[in-house]
Amino acid sequence: MRTKKVKPPPKKFEYVLNVSKEHDGVSKRDYISFRFQTTKEFLTFKYLLKIECIVEEKNLCFNILGFSAPIGDLSDYGTAGYEFRFFDYKFAEYNILIDKKDSDKSKFKMTVQRSKTQPVKLSRIPKKSFIEIKGEDDS
């Protein structure tokens, strides 16, 4: 007698994006970090997300292209991830577009401020999207 495969319940989001202001100790410069991560965990490899980043004045576009296998001898399991470090930012409002292989798109706004308590403010985050967008204040 065969048993049914138990499928985990579908996740609300495919990806999570964490946006925060960080400091690079080597170059001694601040940057805005965009950390992408899948909600799905992979059992054989800890894949790398392939993302193309286009920066044009006050617009940042992230094209999620797919996955690539990690380079190395040992395999590890976990979620796939990618980090983009935006060094040459200005204290202004930016339009952010996240495009997933020409199928889904998500837009929001990011304001970079001189404030110590909230240096990056996110707004117009879509309620229904394939990606969960979190700022520094979100847990």
Give residue-wise pLDDT tens across range 88-138: 999 999 999 999 987 889 999 999 999 888 999 999 999 899 999 999 877
HSE on the CB side for 121, CA within 13 Å?
A: 12
What's the pLDDT score for residue 16? 96
Distances (CA, A) of 55 to 9, 16, 52, 58, 111: 36, 20, 10, 8, 15
At position 123, the amino acid (one-letter code) is S
**pLDDT value for 74:** 66
Query: What pLDDT is stored for residue 139 in this prediction?
Result: 53
Q: Give residue-wise pLDDT tens across range 17-72.
A: 999 999 999 999 999 999 999 999 888 878 889 999 999 999 999 999 999 887 77
For the chain, give every domain's residue range: 15-115+130-134
